A and B are shown apart, each in its own frame.
Chain A
Amino acid sequence: MLAYVIKRLIAIPFLLLGVASVSFMLSQMTKGDPLAALVPERMMSNTEVVAAVKAEWGLDKPLPVRYAAYLGNLVQGDLGTSFATRRPVAADIAQRLPATLELVVCAMIVGTTLGLSLGLLSAKYRGSVVDSLARMVALVGSSLPIFWSGLILLYLFSVRLSIVPGTGRLPARVDPPPDVTGFYTIDSLIAGDLSLFLQSIAHLALPAFVLGWAVTGIITRLVRSSLIEGMAQDYARTARAKGAPEHVVLINHALPNAMIPLLTILGFTFAYLITGAVLTEAIFSWPGIGSYAVRAASSLDYPAIGGVTIVGSVAFLLANLLTDIGYAWANPRIRVH
């Protein structure tokens, strides 16, 4: 297993180089004005400004020269400078990724807990009102567009009921904790500031719920169907024959077998949300990587597009690897070669 993991880790940089090259070429081939993020619309006709900007950003050089420079910088860990923010892309990502990770981790906790619970209830009480209710809750979460559920819940719980605070990671009047991990919850604890910790949790609660609820449906459906299938298997019948109560059969025998497909879904959902939480980020003014990616794509910010693509690729590669490791952990019969 260890050798397998090492082999996969060694392959990652080469895969990323390929991804970066494809991303660079596709960006260059995409129709659009590459100066969109660099020169305001009103200055488009100003030849002096346009020439100066092209020279400054190397856009006056032939494509092969730009590609070579991009790869040369990339192998040295330099992702370039964003056209839009005028800052190193690596710095932008380092600032935004923890915000997204904090949100996505919490959303996955919410989604998994809710999905697993509803799936268990649904399977245990199959065909009953409980089953219908559980499936409906999951279905509603998956079906409601996030831009709608987010806005409605924000209006209800923040504006009308004042139960949760508004948008952002912290109140604007509060200084964020000293940056250690970029996770405000962790950094505020490291700083020993319990009040800040509570405020950061409060700000996380609603966006994490909205995003988590959206992934609950698929988890619930998967857990339910896997459990129902598992409860009909020979090992479940054997356990029952040995006198195991139904809930023990469900939890101790059927659930572990349901974990394998669940791990696959969780791994890829997590990776997807790293760059796919854009609507939640937009509604809750959450300064994450998803909104950065959308802005980069719409304004043809080549360096930022490349940087986000690499982050997304790393997320998927690592999720894939961790899922494989999770398989072995969840089911000792599986050995990866």
Chain B
Amino acid sequence: MKHFRINKGVAALLLAGGAVFAQPVLADESDTLVIARSMDVNSLDPSRAFCDTCQFYLTAVYETLVTLAPDNKTLVPNLAENWDVNGDFTEFTFHLKDASFSDGSPVEASDVIWTFNRLKNVKGSPSFLMDGLVSAEAVDAKTVKFIVDAPNSEFLNKVSAPYTGIINADVAKGAGASAADDASEADKAESWFLENSAGSGPFMLKTYSPEAELRLARNDAYWGSAPAFAEVVVTQIQDAVGQAQALETGQVDIAMQIDADTAQSIRSPDVVTEVVPSYNFTYIGFIPGAKGMADVLTKDVRQALALAIDYDGMLDFTVGGNGAKQAAPLPNGFPGTAGLKQREQNIEKAKEMLAAAGQSDLKLVAGYPNDNIYGVDFNIMMQKVQQDFAAIGVEMELKPLTWAVWRDELGAGEWPVTAVYYAPDYYGSGQYIAYFGMIEGYPWVKRAGVGKDDLVVNPEEASLYATALASSGADSEAAYTKLGEEMMNDAIIIPLVSPNLVLAHRSDISGVRYSACCNLPLAEISRK
């Protein structure tokens, strides 16, 4: 009996030892693509989702009418074979390809109309993409026409945003979805979209476990070229170091959020890293409407503060030089940015302007999210701003906050300086004007004005924006350049860093690229 027990013990030890020494299932030859990412999914419903992870998930599962070419500038056909735009950019007619949804049913004009109406009426986060849409009409089963209430040359760009991906209307309606005017109350399909998908894309949702794993399966009925991988798994790995380790061991094929510093620590010859510019940026925002700041944070003072910042030093300090300066709240490379002159530090001029404004002993408070976004640690970034302001005699108290508290205090105008970030939803400068423009009723006017909009509204910008939207090509470009200059002159939004993006993947993976609309186009990735 004793002998038997010993044998059993030895067997158990061997079993445990074998388990511990078991090798991970490695990437080579696998038909599954594994991506490491800290997921920020707020929904998998195209009409409600709004996050970086959502961008590439929706791109893989729901196809848009048009999409962005690898040059990140040119719009190319996707579900729409071609399109017509009238002379004043108010009517857009799309001719659909013979595409089909994953259940085999054809993609028709009625699906497109239903999708756009739902996006507008459900009033989810991306509903702004349908602002101004007044009519959607099916000319025939494969032709759809949209009319907007004012000239909008950026409408085509908007429909390349992944949130406008076309949904199989019949399937979604069967799951409780609604596109009616009262969809914000009548639509009950959000939970269905967490477990199912109804798109025409190369992949379908297989399973989703919040903050753990997102699993996509190849759409075997895909109407286009079949993707290389049978399955794509996005696995939750919170930090850059963990993602890099998983990449080195072959546990994952791609790591999406590795910063440049961490990338340099990777020693494995089987890992490839490429640093590319991104369209993301971090910025500080001034809030003249904050308590007691109306007569203090004037345009001259704001411009003086902007002159105090050491923009080159900021890049070194925050991202070790792996980034770019950005002049206006328009990403480098977007329409209108080519002619903008970067801001430069000028301490003497800043001091003079402050003195002239009678604010030589200015004291400020900066409330900002205590976070690390796109590899930029906001604490480090704000410490640099604090240091730069000190050089012109401005004392700034730093107040790092949780997101929930930051948002609460931001609306109340608790502090005159804040810091945030922005990433594009599609290629186009209009989205930035619609957010950062000092135009009556626009988001940053409400933030910066805190009920006293006249402190910040710039009347020039509304007409310039209308001109930009009513034109295309060089005329539109020129209007956006002027808008950029006006926003720089406003000195409300001061971009600090446009951090580079590290594309990190195993060497046997190809087709990894950064897309301004879609983040990471999964269908283009293959194993060598």
Residue positions of A touching B, CB distance < 8 A:
31-46, 48-49, 51-53, 55-56, 82, 84-87, 92, 95, 151, 154-155, 158-159, 162-168, 171-174, 197-199, 201-202, 205, 282-283, 285, 287, 291-292, 295, 298-300
B77 at the interface (CB under 8 A from A): no
- Chain A residues with CB under 8 Å of B124's CB are 49, 52
Complex Cα gap A192–B428 (Å):
55
On whether A295 and B43 interact (CB within 8 A), knowing A40-B50, A86-B190, the answer reads: no
Query: B405–A171 contact, CB under 8 A?
Result: no
Which of A33, A45, A172 is close to B235, meaning CB atoms less than 8 Å apart?
A: A172
- Chain A residues with CB under 8 Å of B191's CB are 86-87
Query: A163–B21 contact, CB under 8 A?
Result: yes
Query: A86–B235 contact, CB under 8 A?
Result: no
Which of A56, A87, A287 is close to B185, meaning CB atoms less than 8 Å apart?
A: A56
| Residue in chain A with minimal CB distance to B425 | A42
Complex Cα gap A72–B15 (Å):
50
Interface residues in B, total, Cβ within 8 A? 62
Query: B407–A33 contact, CB under 8 A?
Result: yes
Complex Cα gap A43–B190 (Å):
19
On whether A202 and B210 interact (CB within 8 A), knowing A43-B50, A86-B194, A171-B251, the answer reads: no
- Chain A residues with CB under 8 Å of B510's CB are none
Which of A33, A35, A172, A202 is close to B233, meaning CB atoms less than 8 Å apart?
A: A172
On whether A285 and B235 interact (CB within 8 A), knowing A40-B51, A166-B246, A172-B252, the answer reads: yes
- Chain B residues with CB under 8 Å of A168's CB are 235, 251
CB distance from B467 to the nearest CB of A (A): 24
Query: B408–A32 contact, CB under 8 A?
Result: yes
CB distance from A279 to the nearest CB of B (A): 11
On whether A202 and B245 interact (CB within 8 A), knowing A49-B123, A172-B34, the answer reads: no
In addition to A159-B248, A298-B403, 5 A-B residue pairs with Cβ atoms within 8 Å of each other are A36-B407, A38-B42, A151-B241, A172-B251, A202-B19
| Residue in chain A with minimal CB distance to B50 | A40
CB distance from B492 to the nearest CB of A (A): 14
Query: A33–B246 contact, CB under 8 A?
Result: no
Complex Cα gap A103–B30 (Å):
28
Complex Cα gap A13–B408 (Å):
35
Contact string against A for B residues 4-23, beta-carbon threshold 8 Å, 1 for contact and 0 otherwise: 00000000000110111111
| Residue in chain A with minimal CB distance to B237 | A285
B320 at the interface (CB under 8 A from A): no
17 A–B pairs (Cβ distance < 8 Å), ordered by A: A33-B408, A37-B42, A39-B125, A42-B443, A45-B443, A49-B128, A52-B124, A85-B210, A165-B249, A167-B251, A171-B24, A172-B32, A173-B32, A198-B15, A202-B21, A205-B19, A283-B242
CB distance from A298 to the nearest CB of B (A): 5
On whether A32 and B185 interact (CB within 8 A), knowing A42-B443, A45-B447, A292-B211, the answer reads: no
B25 at the interface (CB under 8 A from A): yes
CB distance from A80 to the nearest CB of B (A): 13
Query: B24–A33 contact, CB under 8 A?
Result: no
CB distance from A98 to the nearest CB of B (A): 12
Complex Cα gap A331–B50 (Å):
59
- Chain B residues with CB under 8 Å of A174's CB are 25
Query: A46–B19 contact, CB under 8 A?
Result: no
B300 at the interface (CB under 8 A from A): no
B238 at the interface (CB under 8 A from A): yes
- Chain B residues with CB under 8 Å of A155's CB are 245
Which of A41, A154, A298 is close to B402, meaning CB atoms less than 8 Å apart?
A: A298
Query: A287–B236 contact, CB under 8 A?
Result: yes
Query: A43–B32 contact, CB under 8 A?
Result: no
On whether A40 and B125 interact (CB within 8 A), knowing A86-B191, A201-B20, the answer reads: yes
Query: A32–B443 contact, CB under 8 A?
Result: no
B377 at the interface (CB under 8 A from A): no
CB distance from A100 to the nearest CB of B (A): 12
| Residue in chain B with minimal CB distance to A48 | B123
Which of A151, A163, A172, A291 is close to B20, meaning CB atoms less than 8 Å apart?
A: A163
- Chain A residues with CB under 8 Å of B233's CB are 172-173
CB distance from B508 to the nearest CB of A (A): 14
Complex Cα gap A109–B407 (Å):
43
| Residue in chain B with minimal CB distance to A35 | B407
CB distance from B125 to the nearest CB of A (A): 5
Query: A171–B25 contact, CB under 8 A?
Result: yes
On whether A167 and B237 interact (CB within 8 A), knowing A40-B51, A42-B443, A158-B245, the answer reads: yes
B411 at the interface (CB under 8 A from A): yes
Query: B194–A162 contact, CB under 8 A?
Result: no
- Chain A residues with CB under 8 Å of B238's CB are 282-283, 285
B359 at the interface (CB under 8 A from A): no
B404 at the interface (CB under 8 A from A): yes
Q: Which of A173, A197, A300 is packed against the most chain B CB atoms within 10 Å?
A: A173
B223 at the interface (CB under 8 A from A): no
Query: A32–B184 contact, CB under 8 A?
Result: no
Query: A299–B22 contact, CB under 8 A?
Result: no
Query: A166–B24 contact, CB under 8 A?
Result: yes
Complex Cα gap A34–B405 (Å):
9
- Chain A residues with CB under 8 Å of B408's CB are 31-33
- Chain A residues with CB under 8 Å of B463's CB are none
Query: B249–A159 contact, CB under 8 A?
Result: yes
CB distance from B251 to the nearest CB of A (A): 4
Complex Cα gap A42–B402 (Å):
16
- Chain B residues with CB under 8 Å of A154's CB are 242, 245
Query: B211–A295 contact, CB under 8 A?
Result: yes
- Chain A residues with CB under 8 Å of B211's CB are 85, 287, 291-292, 295
Which of B34, B190, B248, B435 is close to A173, meaning CB atoms less than 8 Å apart?
A: B34
Complex Cα gap A95–B195 (Å):
14
B506 at the interface (CB under 8 A from A): no
Query: B25–A173 contact, CB under 8 A?
Result: yes
- Chain A residues with CB under 8 Å of B422's CB are 42
Contact string against A for B residues 117-128, beta-carbon threshold 8 Å, 1 for contact and 0 otherwise: 000001111011
